A and B are shown apart, each in its own frame.
Chain A
Amino acid sequence: MRSLLASSAAASLFGPLAILALAATASAQELTGGCSLEARAFDSAGVQVGTAYLPGERQGDLVHGGRRNPFYADFHGTIDFVFRTGDTVFENNHWAIQVNGVPLLSGSDDNPLDTDESGSIAIASVVELPGTLVGVFHVTGDLWGNDDANHCHADAWVALVGDPMLSIPWDVAAGALAFGLLGLVLTPYSTTWETDPNAGEQLHSGPVPKRP
């Protein structure tokens, strides 16, 4: 029973942290508030495709997350991570994750018991989409705790690698482009010449006189 309670408590703490870690993994560009993260991304075959250390003290050749040097990950792969909140336990915490400025996930946890967490996340299980997802995304995450006295903020660019032509967004974009171009061809105005029906005539101001 005790182990069940402990595992439940750990899950309640690590669930939000794991999601924040995903955002932070994406966010190798910045992680503030005393939190830290180490993450490695693997593709579906288990080959490592990206590495991130947050914050920047350990920055080196392997660090990614900036706009021009995003953190590479595979939509069908996994991200192994170790996330720490320093010496602070984030009690009564709440968190939120945005992708390209659009809120994606949020949550809270009243009684976390630990300051660190490690694990592995499958991106496809967090973001459920048919097919695959390819592209560069700006991911930000925030974790507040202890009645908002403590705050960690993560910010990074994540590049999901793969063949873009196999993704549904690419099909949608290509279709929209084709129909958009077709519409442009049909949009310019045409000019016609019409005979002015009232040319050279005065309009009647009163009732039309009856013909005799």
Chain B
Amino acid sequence: MRKVKRRHPFRGIISGLLLGVSFFLFSIIYGIVFLGDLTPWVMFGLGLLIGIAFIFVPAPWGRKPPPQPTVPPAPSASTGGAGASGA
């Protein structure tokens, strides 16, 4: 069995860009200027980084343990003679 991680880099980058735009605008609208002129751009970068970081985060749902290898059932003594015991 092989473990396969299905990542979604496109979703992460788009989400990060959207978050970045949101942080950029909110920092201007609400006057968050702790870094001066750079603040909105830093906030944009922060949003983008969050989106990229989530590409490498495992989903908390749908985790499955590795399936047990299927072993063919061992032949038992009663196989084929179950009906012969007769009452």
Contact = CB atoms under 8 A, between A and B. Distances in A.
Q: Do A and B come from one complex?
A: yes
The A contact surface, by secondary structure, is mixed
A177 B11 CA distance: 14
B31 A159 contact: yes
Interface residues of B, number: 44
A167 interface: yes
A205 interface: no
Given A136-B28, A157-B33, A169-B28, A189 B55 contact: yes
B30 A164 contact: yes
B19 A184 contact: yes
Contacts of B31: 70, 135-136, 159
B49 interface: no
Contacts of A182: 15
Interface in A42-94: 67, 70
Given A180-B19, A180-B47, A186 B11 contact: yes
Interface of B: 1-8, 11-12, 14-19, 21-22, 24-26, 28-31, 33, 36-37, 40, 47, 50-51, 54-60, 62-64, 66-67
